[in-house]
Amino acid sequence: MKRRPRRPRGGVAPIPHRGILKIEALPYTPLDDAAVDAIHASALEILATTGIEMWNVEARAIIKECGGRVNEAAQRVWLDPGLVQQQISAAPETIAMKARDPNKNLTVGGQNIVFGAVGGSPFVSDLDKGRRYGTLDDLRRLNKLIHVSDVLALGGGHLIEPVDIPVSYRHLETTYCDITLTDKMPRATALGGIVARDIVTMMALVHAPAGATTDEAIAALVTTPVVMAVISVNSPLRYDGPMLEGLIELANHGQVPIITPFIMIGAMSPITLPAAIAQQHAEVLAGIVLAQCVNPGCPVIYGGFITPLDMQSGAVPFGTPEATWTLAAGAQMARHVGLPYRSSGALTTSQLPDAQAAYESLFNLWPAVMARTNVILQAAGWLDGGLVASFEKFMLDIELIERLFAVYRAPRVDTTALALDQIDAIGPGGHHLDSDYTRKRYRNAFFRSTLSSLAPHETWRDEGGLDAAQRANRAWKDKLSAYKPPPIDQGVVEALDAYKSRRIEQIMGAEGDTLSSR
Amino acid sequence: MKRRPRRPRGGVAPIPHRGILKIEALPYTPLDDAAVDAIHASALEILATTGIEMWNVEARAIIKECGGRVNEAAQRVWLDPGLVQQQISAAPETIAMKARDPNKNLTVGGQNIVFGAVGGSPFVSDLDKGRRYGTLDDLRRLNKLIHVSDVLALGGGHLIEPVDIPVSYRHLETTYCDITLTDKMPRATALGGIVARDIVTMMALVHAPAGATTDEAIAALVTTPVVMAVISVNSPLRYDGPMLEGLIELANHGQVPIITPFIMIGAMSPITLPAAIAQQHAEVLAGIVLAQCVNPGCPVIYGGFITPLDMQSGAVPFGTPEATWTLAAGAQMARHVGLPYRSSGALTTSQLPDAQAAYESLFNLWPAVMARTNVILQAAGWLDGGLVASFEKFMLDIELIERLFAVYRAPRVDTTALALDQIDAIGPGGHHLDSDYTRKRYRNAFFRSTLSSLAPHETWRDEGGLDAAQRANRAWKDKLSAYKPPPIDQGVVEALDAYKSRRIEQIMGAEGDTLSSR
């Protein structure tokens, strides 16, 4: 196996845009150095002694070839510390990713933070029609809202489950929407090798060099990351077959797996937060080792998603103090192994876009930013434990993200800003309302909220006495009506249409075969 | 003037209790060292060259005696850097304060954070009766809610304006409630020398040594801080007469002024955040110099309260990104001069306890904690720009504070918590739900919310589909019904009753005189 030097992956030159929040300040670090070392050592011990299941024969063969120990009957692999350290050091610290609009290219990792919207909810809701199953029309509208928000750097990615589209080819329709309705870099869900292959192919059609065949376009992607996709771990310590297929497919084509265990503490890990973090670290490292064995130096993102299970009620609360701690501790562990880190944003268990939704979301979103999470998924729209993508919650979360951008846009402290001449000129008891200094600056002096009501009580009451959720309802309709589709090459659309139609035909044909052979 | 060594003030030995949030981690510091130095130098320059108005002849005489320059006709004083540095270095870094219940004594400053409820709102509101003028009954109920919440270390302090009590002796009735309905250390509003004197006297009656006369009891307070009171600055650069009287009275008796400018940026300061911080720093330092000249070494708290004025709408938004920055920058300036710092907590412009109220409050409350604000006032109940004390918002804010306590209760990372033996014993694909390790810990493993709904959608719907505000309505009623008055010495009650009655008679008599002499 060839080793490559550790360096940023990808050939594009990203341009800074508002969608990237850059945090130079020291991140929030709940773990001290000794704790980081202890957790890392624990994860290495877990991989070497307990091992991890990989339910895919190809994955196990790759691990064995790479130097791991394998028990085929148990579908379990063991990784020694030297192997783990060697492999993870091959993965790049930052990833230069290409979007359909080159102005929306992204460097993922380092001091950069990017936000992505909700993903995978079976239900949608709005104040007009309530809670209901999602459809492709809902997914389209969410993609449009993503496109018009300049604080979401990531495009769509199977935002909801559109139940009006058969599961067998749903990924083709959602990926088509994700690619065409916005020119931001899409995410995806790489459940199974066939799905991953379809996504990689469609992305290749988008980014195909002039005159290239589809195979040539796919080959060209290997050094150009254009899509990221969540690879879930079935905790504790198990990778399922479809996820391993997806991981291998992505790694082979130089696309970016976000390796993410989902751990409910006390059920899928021991009931202490440090144990959950150690187990998560072990699980992620195993996936990274596999990716590096598949394609040395390929880009990967370290994902974390930990939540308590309240055993007294059976509830799974989100946006908890435990989440605050674990997602920040996870960021430290990702930095410890030099990888970009993904966690989640505006999580809440609330059934409504109410005060609970706001505080739980902010108790998850802000620490994700403070911990310098490079990729914050589920950052807009998540409601009801993720079962619902809410249009009002989407706008509420956009407000939270806009505020976070403003919080970290610190003013320069210099002579002009300190303005001692102004303080002296106005003097005690005066006011600065109509000074030239004020007139020159007042338009852009402060953050302006789109969702908050700042009117006096009487004005607010006379204008209908709306709450924040009702204003959010108006806001998403305004945003939708302002949507303009981004330009796209007609040849690309035709290629995508043709590919999608052909694949749907194949899949329907295969299903027909399956049905007729029963 | 005698100089005392810089040391904690007060003779009591505080016992740690849940009401004190201790933050050992490095605080959030938006200013670098050069910016801190530049702001401090700017404040010294403002005080030396522009000067500050003090609308009280005694205050100016004290400043002059102390070495300041005074222009009597302009009511303005100038303070040279050497004088400022010398005087502020006399103020103690931490303040040991005594409560009626010695278990609720507090050390204010250092790594400690304490929270106090809303203060001074003319209106109250709840979901049952809506928005209305406050009464003494409302103030009593808020004091009871403060008493039963173990995350509020500070007692009441003129929480609302009870319009059913005449202004002339309102402070006697509110202070009486603040002292008797909870045994936590009260705050007060020291508007004028007479009011401050009444509050000091009533506190002296509470803490009187056995057999002491009232004068002896007042004298005994000088080394025992038992009450803190906000002294407002009329920005820019002006102290009004009544506030100076109150400040002098408090300093004379060793009680704790919280010197707090209220700056709407762009109106009462130049429109840049650094200028607002520099001006605030100058204004606070002037008050501290006065207090130290009155009583060298007396305890003082450095207060900050800055908010933008949105000149495009005329609105005064709270819980803004600008507030996040200024309150944290203020904390750095207070630490720079070695003083305990006060800012504000759950501020919002929202008219309802909705999502806006939650996110604005948390965007103010959490940075106040992150910046290690030692005294966070207005941390529970504030609504509608402070015009309203809302019972539901009170419970919402208590939830936020409870979560913040939990966030900073970090787990120990040790062998027991890492639980590698558990991870190995359960193995891949297993679950930890019924292990002995889990059974031993599950009851106290996680934060438990009182306000959040964590039920599945159907359960939540069948139970009435309440939002967080409606649950908060139930919560404050439950809390009120659980209230039990704290024990109080019957002799103290009699002394307070007698003092209050006598003073009300005096005040009514004086008003009668005024009326008859018209």
Taking an 8 Å cut-off on Cβ atoms, the answer to whether A42 and B418 are in contact is yes
pLDDT in tens, A67-100: 999 999 999 999 999 999 999 999 999 999 999 9
Query: Does the structure show a pLDDT above 70 at A56?
Result: yes
Taking an 8 Å cut-off on Cβ atoms, the answer to whether A272 and B429 are in contact is no
Q: Chain A: nearest CA to B335, how far in angstroms? A: 18
Query: How far from the centroid of its chain's Cα atoms is residue B106's Cα?
Result: 13
Q: Chain A: nearest CA to B16, how far in angstroms? A: 22
Chain B 136-195, residues with CB within 8 Å of chain A CB atoms? none
* Degrees to nearest 5, angle at CA B471 with A454 and A403: 35
Query: Does the structure show a pLDDT above 50 at A516?
Result: no
Q: What is residue A1's predicted lDDT score, i.e. its pLDDT?
A: 35
Query: Does the structure show a pLDDT above 90 at A338?
Result: yes
Percent of chain B with pLDDT over 70: 95
Q: How does strand A112-115 pair with strand A375-377? A: parallel
Tell me the pLDDT band of B514, cut-offs 50, 70 and 90.
low
Tell me the pLDDT band of B440, cut-offs 50, 70 and 90.
very high
Which residues 6+ apart lie within 8 Å of A29 measured at CB? Answer: A328, A332, A371
Taking an 8 Å cut-off on Cβ atoms, the answer to whether B442 and A350 are in contact is no
Tell me the pLDDT band of B26, cut-offs 50, 70 and 90.
confident
Query: Does the structure show a pLDDT above 70 at A9?
Result: no
Query: Does the structure show a pLDDT above 70 at B13?
Result: no
Chain A 270-289, residues with CB within 8 Å of chain B CB atoms? 270-275, 278-279
Q: What is the DSSP letter of A386?
A: G
Q: What is residue A8's predicted lDDT score, i.e. its pLDDT?
A: 40
Q: Are B461 and B485 in contact (CB under 8 A)?
A: no
| Closest C-alpha to B91, from B255, B374, B286, B337 | B337
Using CA coordinates, name the residue in chain B closest to A448: B310
Q: What is residue A518's predicted lDDT score, i.e. its pLDDT?
A: 39
Q: Chain B: nearest CA to A381, how far in angstroms? A: 14
Which residues 6+ apart lie within 8 Å of B19 measured at CB? Answer: B104, B106, B114, B115, B150, B151, B152, B153, B184
Q: What is residue A24's predicted lDDT score, i.e. its pLDDT?
A: 77
User: Which chain B positions have a beta carbon within 8 Å of A350's beta carbon?
Assistant: 452-453, 468
Query: Does the structure show a pLDDT above 70 at B11?
Result: no
Partner-chain residue, chosen from A234, A321, A431, that has the shortest CB–CB distance to B267? A431
Taking an 8 Å cut-off on Cβ atoms, the answer to whether A410 and B30 are in contact is yes
Q: What is the mean pLDDT of chain B?
A: 93
Partner-chain residue, chosen from A268, A325, A448, that has the shortest CB–CB distance to B431? A268
Lowest-confidence region among A306-320, B251-265, B340-354: A306-320
A274-302: average pLDDT: 98
Report for A407-411, B312-316, B362-366: range of highest mean pLDDT: B362-366
Q: Which of A23, A123, A356, A457 to mutate to test the interface with B (most CBs of B within 10 A)?
A: A356
Q: Chain A: nearest CA to B140, how far in angstroms? A: 25
Q: What is the ipTM of this complex?
A: 0.94
Q: What is residue B7's predicted lDDT score, i.e. its pLDDT?
A: 42
Question: What does the alpha-carbon distance between residue B15 and residue B20 come to, in Å, rounded to a whole number?
Answer: 10
Query: Does the structure show a pLDDT above 90 at A26?
Result: no
pLDDT in tens, A408-455: 888 999 999 999 999 999 999 999 999 999 999 998 899 999 999 999
pLDDT in tens, B347-362: 999 999 999 999 999 9
Q: Chain A: nearest CA to B122, how far in angstroms? A: 13
Partner-chain residue, chosen from B76, B384, B465, that has the shortest CB–CB distance to A428? B76
Instruction: Determine contact: B38 vs chain A, CB below 8 A.
Output: yes
- CB–CB contacts below 8 A, A to B: 373
| Closest C-alpha to A162, from A198, A196, A138, A189 | A138
Query: How far from the centroid of its chain's Cα atoms is residue A395's Cα?
Result: 18
Question: What does the alpha-carbon distance between residue B46 and residue B80 come to, in Å, rounded to a whole number?
Answer: 10
pLDDT in tens, B450-470: 999 999 999 999 999 999 999
Percent of chain B with pLDDT over 90: 88
Q: What is the mean pLDDT of chain A?
A: 93
Q: What is residue B24's predicted lDDT score, i.e. its pLDDT?
A: 77
Q: Chain B: nearest CA to A465, how far in angstroms? A: 8
Taking an 8 Å cut-off on Cβ atoms, the answer to whether A465 and B437 are in contact is no
Residues making up chain A, counted from first to last: 518
pLDDT in tens, B163-215: 999 999 999 999 999 999 999 999 988 788 999 999 999 999 999 999 999 99
- Where in chain A are the domains? 21-407
Tell me the pLDDT band of A514, cut-offs 50, 70 and 90.
low
* Degrees to nearest 5, angle at CA B96 with B10 and B6: 65
Q: What is residue B513's predicted lDDT score, i.e. its pLDDT?
A: 61
Q: What is residue A511's predicted lDDT score, i.e. its pLDDT?
A: 72
Taking an 8 Å cut-off on Cβ atoms, the answer to whether B237 and A429 are in contact is yes
A336-355: average pLDDT: 98
Query: Does the structure show a pLDDT above 80 at B517?
Result: no
Taking an 8 Å cut-off on Cβ atoms, the answer to whether B268 and A431 are in contact is yes
Q: Which of A333, A454, A459 to mutate to test the interface with B (most CBs of B within 10 A)?
A: A454
Q: Chain B: nearest CA to A348, how far in angstroms? A: 9
Instruction: Determine contact: B46 vs chain A, CB below 8 A.
Output: yes
User: Which chain B positions have a beta carbon within 8 Å of A416's beta carbon?
Assistant: 272
Q: Chain B: nearest CA to A440, how far in angstroms? A: 10
Question: What does the alpha-carbon distance between residue A394 and residue A475 come to, in Å, rounded to a whole number?
Answer: 10
| Closest C-alpha to A226, from A250, A259, A198 | A250
Q: Chain B: nearest CA to A1, how far in angstroms? A: 29
Question: What does the alpha-carbon distance between residue B140 and residue B156 come to, in Å, rounded to a whole number?
Answer: 9
Partner-chain residue, chosen from B362, B387, B446, that has the shortest CB–CB distance to A310? B446
A163-182: average pLDDT: 96
- List the structure tokens of B70: 């005074």
User: Which chain B positions have a beta carbon within 8 Å of A442's beta carbon?
Assistant: 266, 271, 311-312
Instruction: Determine contact: A236 vs chain B, CB below 8 A.
Output: yes
Q: What is the DSSP letter of A47?
A: I
Taking an 8 Å cut-off on Cβ atoms, the answer to whether A428 and B320 are in contact is no
Taking an 8 Å cut-off on Cβ atoms, the answer to whether B452 and A317 are in contact is yes
Chain B 74-113, residues with CB within 8 Å of chain A CB atoms? 76
**CATH pick for B21-407 out of 3.20.20.480, 3.10.105.10, 1.10.2020.10, 3.90.25.10:** 3.20.20.480
Q: What amino acid occupies position B371? A: A
B89-109: average pLDDT: 95
* Helix (H), strand (E) at residue A14: none
B144-167: average pLDDT: 95
Lowest-confidence region among B112-116, B310-314, B422-426, B505-509: B310-314
